[in-house]
Chain A
Amino acid sequence: MKRFAFATVSTLAVVAGSSVAAEPQAEVLHWWTSGGEAKSVAVLQEEFASNGGTWTDMPVAGGGGDAAMTALRARVLAGNAPTAVQLKGPAIQEWYEEGVLADISSVAEAEGWADVLPASIAGHMQCDGTWCAAPVNVHRIDWIWANADVLAANGIEMPTTWDEFNAAAVKLMDAGVIPLAHGGQSWQDATVFEAVVLGLGGPEFYQKALVELDPEALTSDTMVQVFDQMRTLRGYVDENFSGRDWNLATAMVMNGEAAFQIMGDWAKGEFLAAGKKPGEDFLCASTPGDGYLYNVDSFAMFEVEGDDNRAGQELLAKLIVAPKFQEVFNLNKGSIPARTDVSLDAFDICAKISAEDMGSTSAGGSLLPSYAHGMALRGSQAGAITDVVTAHFNSDMSSADAVQQLADAVANSY
């Protein structure tokens, strides 16, 4: 009886609570669980709490988000989606088509997101014209990292064309240095591949081939040249690269075993964590060629029940895009703010280059989504391309065969 009374009272309390003033509630599904990432999420969590909200953390580690996506699928099928989910690129649209995303246009319009976000990034956050996701950061993918001492000792400048890169690599090999630190995992192969596509083909070709999947571009001579360059790069990698994690490859550049690494700007975090100074110990530059490949992390907002949950969702969206969080989070994460009006004084030189290039390429139309990191294409198309890229890189397949397989794989992926 006592228990019954208690239950009744607490139910009443809940009912009363929600009818008087909706206290913002948010359950957030994400997979930022490693050191720097967890710290970055904690920033958002604190800010949410200090604005009177109750944050329910739902971190699901493992598999680069695969485990979290499985959890999400189960929750959505059970009709009980989390408030906000770390999702990015076309995956947002895919979930929108399942009819489970919420409309947060009121927040976006009140905060003027359209004015502060680069147009192509804002495009990812919109579903059929309404806002359905909030961007957190911008990672640049087409970076080339180098050990400053090794370059100086061999009289090499940061390469600005792939021919220069190849010449530098030959010189380094003669000097007994591994030219390119690389880990033989399919996503790393894909990361290098897209940088080469952008460098050799240019932004327009990249857009045609890896965003629009134009069969003509995929089977063009330019694509054959791209695969030729991949074969050349394969020669610059040490014999022991299979299955190596990206951070071990970064460590090879750090300790001078290797000269270059092509990797997104999370590699910078490894350098900084080891106490290396950008511009002095290590150099950063965009990979040879024009353009900018971005990987934007974002939170998609799912349709939820109840005023408290909706209030939480709106508060969360507002905080995520607000300048303060954008600055603090990205300083922790090594990326740059998605909004263009945040002061970059506290950021390092590489981040400043990244932000400047983002502005200029956005104006010039060469700010492009990364295919290797799930920004340009849906899972099955991107996966089909990666299969061919990694099979070519790890075997003696000819470039002509690779191009043919590429077109077949894309056609077969729908």
Chain B
Amino acid sequence: MSEWLENHLPKVVLAPSFIAVLIFVYGFIGWTAWVSLTRSKLLPKYEIHGFIQYERLFDSPRWDTAINNLYIFGALFIVIAMVLGLLLAILLDQKIRVEGVIRTIYLYPMALSMIVTGTAWKWILNPGLGIESMVQGWGFPNFEFDWLVNPDYAIYTIVIAAIWQSSGFVMALFLAGLRSVDGEIIKAAQVDGIPTWRIYTAIIIPSMAPIFLSAFIVLAHLAIKSFDLVIALTGGGPGYATDLPATYMYAMAFSRGDIGQAASSAMIMMLVVFAIVVPYLYSELRAKND
């Protein structure tokens, strides 16, 4: 008995969570895929109607806007947050005096929920309350900064708020990476008289490739599932100019009673995530097998 237990204990302990994941993740992915092929409206129906929901989805100008916004938001957010995070990490790495305090200050936005960030930035960026009216009050009456209410630029305000929220976290990731680089190599390079920037670009940063990958994965999934920030900052507006796939799906499922449409948009979102995660998993697994 005890021998059996010894051999099977890990499986027994893992079984409940394995089953739960199987049902609640993969089971419901399958369910959503099924519903996305039906004409479900208010309640789910299970009669298959082919790809009608996907046709509707790709005919919808609002979905076009949402997907374009995802590209704009995702690309800018990931690139700028990584560059800024790396820069902050390198500056903090210069053995400065109150590093602990500064690190905490930069990390703190991460402790806020996206709703708080969104609401705060909504006020900061509001032309009548925030930066624009402040600068105008300083005696520059022609100063304009109305991105929040301008449908062509509103998506960039979401990028700004998201970067403010996340770059401190990316900084912490990179800082850990910088610290893990072998000090002996750096000392050797310094002895050889190599300038500091060369040490960073040629030695330290290339050795941090895994950190870049993790930061990218974390930021990419934050970008794709972004929802609360948009709701708090712009509510998807002006018009639907700042809709993202997640807010589109919410509107369809919960405001409009169009479950089929919501399911098809959810499937597309999942495929986007797969497109990012699968190559990552593949490279990880290959690295392990080597």
Q: Which residues of A contact B (CB under 8 A)?
A: 63, 66-67, 69-70, 73, 76-77, 91, 94-95, 98, 184-186, 189, 239-243, 378-380, 382-383, 387, 390-395, 405, 408-409, 412-413
Distance A387 CA – B64 CA, assembled complex (angstroms): 13
Among candidates B42, B149, B239, B258, residue contacting A73 with C-beta atoms closer than 8 Å = B42
* A76 partner, pick from B43, B235, B257, beta carbons under 8 A: B43
Chain A neighbourhood of B267, CB < 8 A: none
Question: A residues within 8 A CB of B41?
Answer: 94, 378, 380
Identify whether the interface residues of B are mostly helix, strand, loop, or mixed.
Answer: loop
The distance from the CB of A352 to the nearest CB of chain B, in whole angstroms, is: 34
Q: Is there contact, CB below 8 Å, between B235 and A185? A: yes
CB pair A242 B254 closer than 8 Å: no
Write the chain A residue with the least CB distance to B148.
A242
Decide: A184 and B43 in contact? CB cutoff 8 A.
no
A70 close to B239 (CB less than 8 A) = no
A412 touches B60 (CB 8 A): yes
Compute how far the CA of A207 lies from the CA of B54 in the bound complex, rounded to whole angstroms. Answer: 31
Which residue on chain A has the smallest CB distance to residue B56?
Answer: A412
The contact of B255 among A76, A379, A395, A412, by CB within 8 Å, is A379
Residues A66 and B60 in contact, CB atoms below 8 Å apart: no
Total A-B contacts with CB atoms under 8 angstroms apart: 99
Residues of A within 8 A of B252 (CB): 380
**CA A138 to CA B126, docked complex, whole Å:** 36
Q: Is there contact, CB below 8 Å, between B59 and A94?
A: no
Contact of B241 with A394 in the complex, beta carbons under 8 Å = yes
Classify chain B's interface size.
Answer: 20 to 34
> Is B239's CB under 8 angstroms from A393's CB?
yes
CB-CB nearest in chain A for B254: A66
Given contacts A239-B146, A412-B56, contact A95 B239 (CB under 8 A): no
Q: Given known contacts A243-B237, A380-B257, A395-B151, what 17 new A-B pairs fall within 8 Å (CB)?
A: A73-B42, A184-B149, A239-B128, A240-B128, A240-B149, A242-B234, A243-B235, A379-B255, A383-B256, A390-B240, A391-B61, A391-B239, A391-B240, A393-B239, A394-B151, A409-B61, A412-B56
Which residues B79-133 have CB closer than 8 A to chain A? 122, 126-128
The answer to whether A394 and B239 have CB atoms under 8 Å apart is: yes
Which residue of chain B lies nearest to A77 when distances are taken between CB atoms in the complex?
B43
* Minimum CB–CB distance for A189 against chain B, Å: 8
- Whole-angstrom distance between the alpha carbons of A261 and B42 in the complex? 34
Do the beta carbons of B62 and A387 come within 8 Å of each other?
A: yes
Tell me, in angstroms, the Cα distance from A149 to B255 when the chains sit together: 39
A-B residue pairs in contact (CB < 8 Å), sample of 19: A66-B255, A70-B254, A185-B235, A239-B128, A239-B146, A240-B149, A243-B122, A243-B149, A380-B258, A383-B255, A387-B61, A390-B240, A391-B61, A394-B151, A394-B237, A394-B241, A408-B59, A409-B60, A412-B60
Q: Tell whether B226 is near chain A: CB-to-CB under 8 Å.
A: no
* Complex: chain B residue closest to A76, CB-CB: B43
Give the distance in Å from the alpha carbon of A394 to the alpha carbon of B261 in the complex. Answer: 25
How far does the Cβ of B84 sit from chain A's closest Cβ, in whole Å?
27
Q: Note all chain A residues with C-beta closer than 8 A to B254.
A: 63, 66-67, 69-70
Kindly state the separation between the CA atoms of A193 and B127 in the bound complex, as whole angstroms.
25
B238 at the interface (CB under 8 A from A): yes
Prevailing SS type, chain A contact patch:
helix
B41, B127, B128, B257: most-surrounded residue (chain A CB, <10 A): B257
Q: Does B251 contact A (CB under 8 A)?
A: yes
CB-based contact A184/B56 at 8 Å: no
A380 touches B256 (CB 8 A): yes
Measured in the bound complex, the distance between the Cα atoms of B241 and A29 in whole Å is 34
Contact indicator B239/A186 (Cβ below 8 Å)? yes
Once bound together, how far apart are the Cα atoms of A98 and B255, in whole Å?
18
A239 with B240: CB separation less than 8 A: no
Q: Are B239 and A390 in contact (CB under 8 A)?
A: yes
Residues in A whose Cβ lies below 8 Å from that of B251: 383
When the two chains form their complex, are residues B149 and A241 in contact, meaning their CB atoms are under 8 A apart? yes
Using known A-B contacts A380-B261, A390-B240, determine if residue A240 contacts B151 with beta carbons closer than 8 Å.
no
Contacts of B257 in A (CB 8 A): 69, 91, 94, 378-380
A412 to B149, CA, bound (A): 29
Q: Whole-angstrom distance from the CB of A68 to the nearest CB of chain B?
A: 10
Are A98 and B61 touching (Cβ within 8 A)? no
Residues in chain A near residue B122, CB distance under 8 A: 243
CA distance A412 to B255 in the complex (A): 17
CB neighbours of A408 from chain B (8 A): 59
Chain B residue, CB-CB nearest to A95: B42
Task: Return the chain A residue nearest B233 by Cβ.
Answer: A243
CB distance from B223 to the nearest CB of A (A): 22
A73 to chain B: which residues have CB within 8 Å? 42-43
Please state if A405 and B239 are interface contacts (CB–CB under 8 Å). no
A239 with B239: CB separation less than 8 A: no
Q: How far is the CB of A264 from chain B (nearest CB, A)?
A: 18
Which one of B239, B257, B258 has the greatest number of beta carbons of chain A within 10 Å? B239
Q: Measured between C-beta atoms, what is the minimum distance from A52 to chain B in Å?
A: 35
B62, A242: Cβ atoms under 8 Å? no
Chain A residues near B60 (CB-CB < 8 A): 409, 412
Interface set, chain B 236-260, CB cutoff 8 A to A:
236-241, 251-252, 254-258
Q: Which residues of A contact B236 (CB under 8 A)?
A: 186
Contacts of A95 in B (CB 8 A): 42
User: Which residues of the partner chain A approach B149 to less than 8 Å between Cβ atoms?
Assistant: 184, 239-243
Partner of A379, one of B240, B241, B258: B258
Please name all residues of chain B whose beta carbon is closer than 8 Å to the beta carbon of A186 when the two chains form the complex: 236-237, 239-240
Q: Kindly list the 3 A-B residue pairs having the minimum CB-CB distance in the complex, ordered from nearest.
A: A394-B239, A394-B238, A240-B128
A77 to B62, CA, bound (A): 30
Cβ contact within 8 Å between A239 and B59: no
| Minimum Cβ distance to chain A for residue B188 (Å) | 57
